[in-house]
Amino acid sequence: MKMKTAEIIEDSKKFIAPFRVTAGQNFRLEEVDPNNTGQGIAGDKTKAKELLQQGVKALADLQDKLYAQDQWAILLIFQAMDAAGKDGAIKHVMSGVNPQGCQVYSFKSPSAEDLNHDYLWRSMRCLPERGRIGIFNRSYYEETLVVRVHPELLAKQRIPECLMTKDIWDDRYKDIRHFERYLTNNGVVIRKFFLHVSADEQRKRFLQRLDSSAKNWKFSEADSRERGFWNDYMKAYQETICNTAADYAPWYVVPANNKWFTRLVVAAVVIDALAALNLQYPQVGEAQRQQLEIAKKALEKEERQ
């Protein structure tokens, strides 16, 4: 059944509520089931795909208004363990968006130039402009995740030794909260996703990459090695989410063992965020309307000649 945009927006608001984490919640990552497929469409992959396509169209309409209005910016942050489906979620959810209105950045290991600056520097350079949707495929949150799991990486950042205290992670949580509050106060709407895949599902997906020549390039030795730190990563995600979730910049912990469900949740979150802005096309004033009428008459005159 085809739904109207208003219905999709309303359903999105209800659908995403169980996955939202904000400040003060007693959130426990271990209580989130990566196999969860929600209420109502549980196990219905076909219906979920139909809803996603309708959502993609609704998102395209909202994004067009965002671009035309040119006041707000959207920042979508994706974090996950390898093979959780970040790339696929971004590809499918944003498939209907005008490329002019979307900016995607993938953050790999920091370069020598990056390491000569503070850890937020390279992300600040990539923030979305007004009227656009910016996507961070990994982000500054790597500084409280992979760097926390592998603290030896801190040495490469050449931070003064007197600042390398036991409070460094709490300091970073505080820095990030303040940074996201600053962005919010300047019209950047932030939504953060942790795509929660199970260790067993990750193993299956790694094997699929190894068995398919078309996917071999996606696998590296580091992917397998990082599995040995799984519990450390889960602890780091738990603490990061709890310490940086806020009403103005919530986390969405999305079950990721079923890609079709993951993509539907992500689409619903983005639709809800855009719909909350009450986006409208710019209004044309009377003086401008008169100019448009003059231009129209001139073009019609050309046609008659």
Complete DSSP assignment for 3-17: --HHHHHHHHHHHHG
pLDDT reading at 304 higher than 70: no
pLDDT digits (tens, 9 = 90+) for 44-53: 788 888 889 9
Could you state, in order of their start, the residue ranges of all structural domains in the chain? 5-304
d(CA 135, CA 26): 28
Write the pLDDT tens digit of every residue in 217-229.
777 777 788 999 9
Q: What is the pLDDT of residues 58-113, one digit of tens each?
A: 999 999 999 999 999 999 999 999 999 999 999 999 999 999 999 999 999 999 99
Mean pLDDT of 138-159: 95
pLDDT interval class at 13 (50, 70, 90): confident
Name the β-bridge partners of 134. 75, 103
φ/ψ of 57, rounded to 5, equals: -65, -40
Work out the average pLDDT over 145-158: 94
| Residue pair 253/32 in contact by the 8 Å Cβ criterion | yes
Domain 5-304 grouped into CATH 3.50.50.60:
no
Please tell me the predicted confidence (pLDDT) of residue 296.
81
SS3 81: coil
Cα–Cα distance measured from residue 168 to residue 162, given in angstroms and rounded to the nearest whole number: 11
Q: Strand 188-196 relative to strand 251-255: parallel, antiparallel, unpaired?
A: parallel
Burial of 59 (0-12, 13-18, 19+ CB in 10 A): buried
* Proportion of the chain above pLDDT 90, given as a percent: 74
Place of tokens 């046609």: 303
Residue 143 tokens read as 């500084």
Asked whether 83 and 202 are in contact (CB, 8 A), the reply is yes
Residue 280 pLDDT greater than 90, yes or no: yes
What is the reported pLDDT for 4?
65
Q: Are 269 and 46 in contact (CB under 8 A)?
A: no
Instruction: Please provide the average confidence, as pLDDT, over all residues in the chain.
Output: 91
H/E element, 103 = strand 102-106
d(Cα 291, Cα 69) in Å, to the nearest integer?
A: 21
pTM equals: 0.91
